Amino acid sequence: MAVYPIILSQTSFISSDDLTYPYQERALQFGDGIYEVIRIYGGRYYLLEEHVNRLFRSAEAVKIELPFTKREVTDLLLELLEKNNMNEDGKVYMQVSRGTAPRDHVFPKDVPANIYAYVQELPRAEEKLQNGVSVITQRDVRWENCYIKSLNLLPNVLAKQTAKEQGCDEAILHRDGRVTECSSSNAYLVKDGKIYTHPETNNILHGCVRMKVKSLAEDLEIPFVEEAFHVEDIQDADEMFLTSSTSEVMPIVNVDSEKIADGQPGPITRKLQQAYDQDAGIEKATEKETVSK
């Protein structure tokens, strides 16, 4: 397996084999930090600016002072790809914590934030993108500030694990029957040619791919209704799908062991998949690879 260098703290790059975490790292003790996952296609970032902007919004929301400007973070992330000779599909995981200090709930004084990032190969889930996935529904028991991409993901982890134990890929979360999002993705329902999804409130993550899908839907003249649908609406859905940086535009074909419509990805989902691929340059990359062979 390839070993990828990792950005540490200020501007140093080290091998992942040599990485050690301070035992008083606040990310480990409190989950006191934020993160981003950025998609890479053919060695190029997708929606990089959007992810960097969200990183800074999350940092501001939890009162972490970043030691870099947005431009400097962007340059470091680009350098990370270069140092890894990354030319494949993959992702970058980037994490920021409040720093290292003696354990105390109160913020430490004059302690710099710790920043880590690593690159990892990530092939596209072609079979699932083609055939769709099955999901379950679960009550949303997370905190009220899900718009912050924080490290406090235990409720998400438990929901995803429950889905896996039931042979499914995701868990659709709901509060009093109103669907918010999934454990690690945004959720959508299609009915009568319209896309419905929870509005951008504190109760959901403002997904970068969600934002792009909204724009793509507008370009395709598909109504994009930011209005929460209910669990009971799922049984009458024409289509469903979810989105995230790693899942892309993923069809949902089964919810709680019940088919969505005919149990096949629907036409609007397919249109959005095609538009997403074109926007990300995925088709062009495939054509270029074919020509080179």
Looking up residue 18, the CATH number of its domain turns out to be: 3.30.470.10
* 288 belongs to a structural domain: no
Which has the closest alpha carbon to 190: 138, 137, 251, 109? Answer: 251
Instruction: Clarify whether residues 143 and 43 are in a common domain.
Output: no
- Provide the β-strand partners of residue 248: 244
Q: What is the pTM of this model?
A: 0.92
Instruction: Establish if 86 belongs to a structural domain.
Output: yes
What is each CA distance from 92 to 127, 142, 153, 255, in whole angstroms? 23, 25, 18, 30
Query: For residue 24, is it within any domain?
Result: yes
Give the confidence band of 21 by pLDDT, cuts at 50, 70, 90. confident
Q: Bridge partners of 196?
A: 189, 225
Say yes or no: 100 and 179 in one domain. Answer: no
Q: Are residues 117 and 145 in the same domain?
A: no
Answer yes or no: do 70 and 111 share one domain. Answer: yes
165 and 221 belong to one structural domain: yes
Say if residue 111 is in the same domain as residue 141.
no
pLDDT attached to residue 5: 56
Same domain, 24 and 151: no
292 within some domain:
no
Two structure tokens written together for 68: 């870099």
* 151 lies in the same domain as 255: yes
Choose, from 70, 109, 149, 160, the residue flagged as catalytic. 149
User: What's the pLDDT band for 291 if we cut at 50, 70, 90?
Assistant: very low
Among the candidates 96, 121, 146, a domain finishes at 121
- In a domain, residue 285? The reply is no
Digit-coded pLDDT (tens) for 136-191: 999 999 999 999 999 999 999 999 999 999 999 999 999 999 999 999 999 999 99
Task: Give the number of domains in the chain.
Answer: 2
Whether 44 has a pLDDT exceeding 60, the answer reads yes
Considering the domain architecture, whether residues 13 and 137 belong to the same structural domain is answered as no
CATH for 130: 3.20.10.10
Measured CA to CA, the distance from residue 284 to residue 100 in angstroms comes to 44
Closest residue by Cα to residue 34 from 172, 160, 148, 200: 148
**109: annotated active-site residue:** no
Choosing from 58, 87, 121, the residue where a domain stops is 121
CA distance 129 to 132: 6
114 vs 96: CA distance, rounded Å: 6
Judge whether 256 lies within some domain: yes
**Tens digit of pLDDT for each residue in 183-241?**
999 999 999 999 999 999 999 999 999 999 999 999 999 999 999 999 999 999 999 99
> 42 lies in which domain range?
5-121
Give yes or no for residue 85 having a pLDDT over 60: yes
pLDDT band at 252 (very low <50, low <70, confident <90, very high): very high
Query: Do 113 and 153 sit in the same domain of this protein?
Result: no
Same domain? 198 vs 212: yes
Among 11-25, 51-65, 254-268, which stretch is predicted with the lowest mean pLDDT?
Answer: 11-25
Average of per-residue pLDDT across 240-248: 98
* Domain annotation covers residue 286: no
Residue 39 · residue 246 · CB < 8 Å: yes
Give the per-residue pLDDT at 1: 43
Model confidence pLDDT, tens digit, residues 88-100: 999 999 999 999 9
Residues 151 and 21 in one domain: no
> Of 121, 149, 176, which marks where a domain is finished?
121
How do 133-139 and 170-175 pair as beta strands?
parallel
Q: Is residue 31 part of a domain?
A: yes
> Cβ of 273: how many Cβ atoms within 10 Å?
20
